[in-house]
């Protein structure tokens, strides 16, 4: 037993039980299917996943190069370890390579009861390689399927379970579902991912009484390796959360479709069938886009847009941002106080493309939803906007979050809450922000002295008065943020270049 140590909570103090799926399946070294797909699907769907490994495959996007079956006794040992201690809600099975392993599994399931059993009767991989041979059919039919709450064969597996009947239409799928139901499982989902001549991906569910067709558009992609494992794990995940079988299938199918659509163009491996992205995050890190981590030096010349000014000078926000970046701005914030959300998002996408091209971070003022929708590099918030701590939870650890601060107390809180930088001002009086208190050079210096985060000065700064700001020599002061000095001018490019030169000269003077 664990002793309670001083200052450390005991294990018993934790009370939050979370939904839990145990997958009993094979490892896929390429990590598109098998155990790896199950772990990713459960994590993506918000469910804990433990793993009992039945076989280790050497596998990639070309096919299966080798299979090493885990000895029965060791499968039994893994099952006992997990089931006796961690009490999963649902068990999901994938590759079961020997009748002995099925026997061990069925015995364990009788000894340790779970809420539901999801059986994906894996036999042949999409590449055509055998993962569980015909000698498994009797074990599936006689031992495992009668215990299953739902079984999810693809067309070939459904056909094999029924002695080789041809399955070519949705009507064939229905009669197959009915015949498989007679073997004993409570529900049967025949998957039509491979249905020839179908523009939809149709799966048929039979619950012993009614048939339900689940249709989604067929995504044109090579990246569909592991869809079956993912679908079964996602069904298990929903059942673990407490869904009915019908809702679990509906949500799981929608999830697979969304993930396939997101991943249609990603490139991993040279074979016919690539993996897809369960977390829908990989594209944001594609090697094509040049996204670099935030550095305090990014704050040197911080351009903040203003749509009224750009309208006045007859240029689009994108063109204004492009000129600022080409003139030497080192970070850009889109600040659109009176734009409609749709227009704001379109402007953001256009500016993001320009900034990515130049390797300059691009932030959105206030609107976390817009930042997420266009995958901007981060946000800048004010004291009365979304709290930094909440913004951090929503945006994750690597987005940039900046916050406006006027006092050392606010700066300290920004640091504790997980901001990356603070904006301090107004340094000089300004008319871009109404009712804004001017903190002056003194106020700026006080904040800089106390701040543990890099600081950018803001408020009424331009060519005529940037020198005293930079020559304050305040610790943590990394640069200046400007609006009118760049955008309320005839040539954004020329003004940015001039300001950049002045900043560089003043920093040299200080050093």
Ligand X SMILES: Nc1ncnc2c1ncn2[C@@H]1O[C@H](COP(=O)(O)OP(=O)(O)OP(=O)(O)O)[C@@H](O)[C@H]1O
Ligand Y SMILES: Cc1ncc(CO)c(N)n1
Q: Which of 88, 192, 402, 479 binds ligand X (CB under 6 A)?
A: 192
List the x/- string, 209-248, binding to Mg ion by CB under 5 A: -------------------x--------------------
Q: Which of 21, 49, 83, 122 binds ligand Y (CB under 6 A)?
A: 122
List the x/- string, 416-455, binding to ligand X by CB under 6 A: ----------------------------------------
In sequence order, which ranges of 184-244 are alpha helices (DSSP H)? Answer: 227-241
Does the footprint of Mg ion cover residue 32 (CB under 5 A)? no
Closest residue to Mg ion, based on beta-carbon distance: 228
Contact yes or no for 185/151 (Cβ under 8 A) = yes
Q: How far is the CB of 476 from ligand X (least distance, A)?
A: 51
Q: Is 433 an annotated catalytic residue?
A: yes
Does the footprint of ligand X cover residue 256 (CB under 6 A)? yes
- Strands (DSSP E) contained in 373-489 are 378-381, 400-405, 421-425, 455-458, 477-482
Q: Which is nearer to ligand X, 193 or 479 (CB)?
A: 193
Q: Which is nearer to ligand X, 41 or 502 (CB)?
A: 41
- C-alpha 371/C-alpha 363 separation (Å) is 7
Q: Which is nearer to ligand X, 277 or 326 (CB)?
A: 277
Which positions from 469 through 508 interact with Mg ion, judged by CB under 5 A? none
124: number of Cβ within 10 Å: 16
Q: Which is nearer to ligand Y, 154 or 451 (CB)?
A: 154
- C-alpha 491/C-alpha 114 separation (Å) is 70
∠ Cα 48 53 58 (to 5°): 115
Length in residues, the chain: 511
State the catalytic residue, choosing from 115, 291, 315, 433: 433
Contact region with ligand X (CB under 6 A), list: 75-83, 212-220, 350-358, 470-478: 212-220
Does the footprint of ligand Y cover residue 228 (CB under 6 A)? yes
Which positions from 12 through 51 interact with ligand X, judged by CB under 6 A? 33
Which tokens hold the place of 4?
């309670």
Among candidate residues 211, 218, 257, the one with its CA nearest the CA of residue 234: 257
SS3 track for 367-381: CHHHHHHHCCCEEEE
Q: Which neighbouring-strand residues pair with 423?
A: 404, 456
Helix (H) / strand (E) element for 509: namely: helix 492-510
Q: Which is nearer to ligand Y, 156 or 174 (CB)?
A: 156
State the catalytic residue, choosing from 98, 404, 451, 506: 404
- In the list ligand X, ligand Y, Mg ion, none, the entry touching 445 (Cβ below 5 to 8 angstroms by class) is none
DSSP category for residue 154: B
Does the footprint of ligand Y cover residue 98 (CB under 6 A)? no
Q: Is 404 an annotated catalytic residue?
A: yes
Helix (H) / strand (E) element for 466: namely: helix 466-470
- C-alpha 340/C-alpha 77 separation (Å) is 60
- C-alpha 206/C-alpha 246 separation (Å) is 10
Q: Which of 19, 20, 26, 477 binds ligand Y (CB under 6 A)?
A: 26
Spatial neighbors of 39 by CB under 8 A, at least 6 apart, are 23, 49, 51
Q: Which of 30, 99, 185, 193 binds ligand X (CB under 6 A)?
A: 193
Going 448 to 453 to 459 to 463, the CA torsion angle's sign is positive
Contact yes or no for 127/64 (Cβ under 8 A) = yes
Does the footprint of ligand X cover residue 327 (CB under 6 A)? no
∠ Cα 343 357 392 (to 5°): 65
Q: Which is nearer to ligand X, 157 or 336 (CB)?
A: 157
Does the footprint of ligand Y cover residue 229 (CB under 6 A)? yes
Q: Which is nearer to ligand Y, 225 or 380 (CB)?
A: 225
Q: Which of 226, 275, 378, 426 binds ligand Y (CB under 6 A)?
A: 226
Spatial neighbors of 419 by CB under 8 A, at least 6 apart, are 388, 401, 402, 403, 453
**Residues in touch with ligand X (CB under 6 A):** 33, 126, 154, 191-194, 201, 203, 216, 218-219, 224-229, 231, 253, 256-257, 260
Residue positions annotated with a catalytic role: 335, 404, 433
**Residues in touch with ligand Y (CB under 6 A):** 25-26, 28, 33-34, 57, 59, 94-95, 122, 125-126, 131, 226, 228-229
């Amino acid at each position: 037993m664990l002793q309670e140590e001083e200052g450390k909570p005991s294990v018993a103090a934790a009370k939050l039980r979370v939904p839990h799926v145990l997958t009993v399946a094979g490892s896929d070294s390429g990590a598109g299917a098998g155990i790896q797909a199950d772990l990713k699907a459960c994590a993506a769907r918000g469910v804990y996943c433990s793993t009992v490994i039945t076989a280790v495959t050497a596998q990639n996007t070309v096919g299966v190069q080798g299979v090493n079956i885990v000895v029965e006794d060791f499968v039994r040992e893994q099952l006992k370890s997990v089931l006796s201690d961690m009490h999963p809600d649902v068990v999901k099975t994938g590759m079961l390579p020997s009748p002995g392993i099925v026997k061990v599994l069925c015995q364990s399931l009788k000894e340790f009861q779970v809420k539901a059993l999801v059986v994906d009767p894996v036999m042949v991989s999409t590449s055509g390689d055998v993962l569980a041979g015909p000698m498994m059919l009797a074990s599936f039919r006689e031992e495992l399927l009668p215990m299953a709450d739902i079984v999810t064969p693809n067309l070939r597996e459904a056909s094999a379970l029924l002695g080789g009947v041809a399955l070519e239409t949705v009507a064939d799928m229905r009669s197959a579902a009915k015949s498989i139901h007679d073997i004993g499982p409570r529900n049967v989902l025949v998957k039509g991912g491979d249905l020839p001549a179908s523009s939809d991906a149709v799966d048929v569910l039979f619950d012993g009484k009614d048939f339900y067709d689940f249709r989604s558009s067929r995504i044109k992609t090579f990246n569909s390796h592991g869809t079956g494992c993912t679908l079964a794990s996602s069904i298990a995940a929903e059942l673990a959360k407490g869904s009915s079988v019908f809702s679990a299938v509906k949500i799981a199918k929608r999830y697979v479709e969304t993930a396939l659509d997101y991943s249609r163009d990603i490139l991993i491996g040279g074979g016919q069938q690539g993996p897809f992205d369960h977390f829908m995050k990989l594209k944001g890190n594609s090697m094509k886009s040049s996204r670099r981590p935030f550095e305090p030096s990014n704050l040197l010349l911080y351009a903040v847009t203003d749509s009224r000014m750009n309208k006045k000078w007859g240029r689009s926000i994108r063109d204004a941002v492009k000129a600022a970046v080409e003139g030497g701005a080192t970070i850009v914030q889109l600040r659109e106080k009176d734009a409609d959300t749709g227009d704001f998002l379109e402007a953001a996408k256009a500016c993001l493309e320009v900034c990515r091209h130049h390797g300059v971070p691009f932030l959105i003022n206030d609107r976390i939803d817009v930042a997420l929708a266009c995958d901007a590099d981060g946000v800048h918030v004010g004291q009365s906007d979304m709290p930094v701590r909440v913004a951090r939870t929503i945006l994750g650890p690597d987005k940039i979050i900046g916050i406006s601060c006027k006092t050392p107390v606010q700066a300290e809180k920004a640091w504790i809450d997980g901001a990356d930088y603070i904006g301090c001002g107004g340094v000089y009086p300004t008319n871009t922000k109404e009712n804004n208190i001017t903190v002056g050079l003194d106020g700026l210096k006080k904040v800089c002295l106390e701040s543990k985060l890099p600081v950018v000065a803001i408020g009424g700064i331009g060519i005529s008065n940037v020198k005293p700001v930079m020559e304050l020599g305040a610790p943590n002061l990394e640069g200046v943020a400007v609006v009118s000095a760049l955008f309320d001018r005839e040539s954004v490019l020329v003004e940015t270049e001039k300001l950049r030169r002045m900043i560089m000269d003043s920093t040299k003077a200080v050093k």
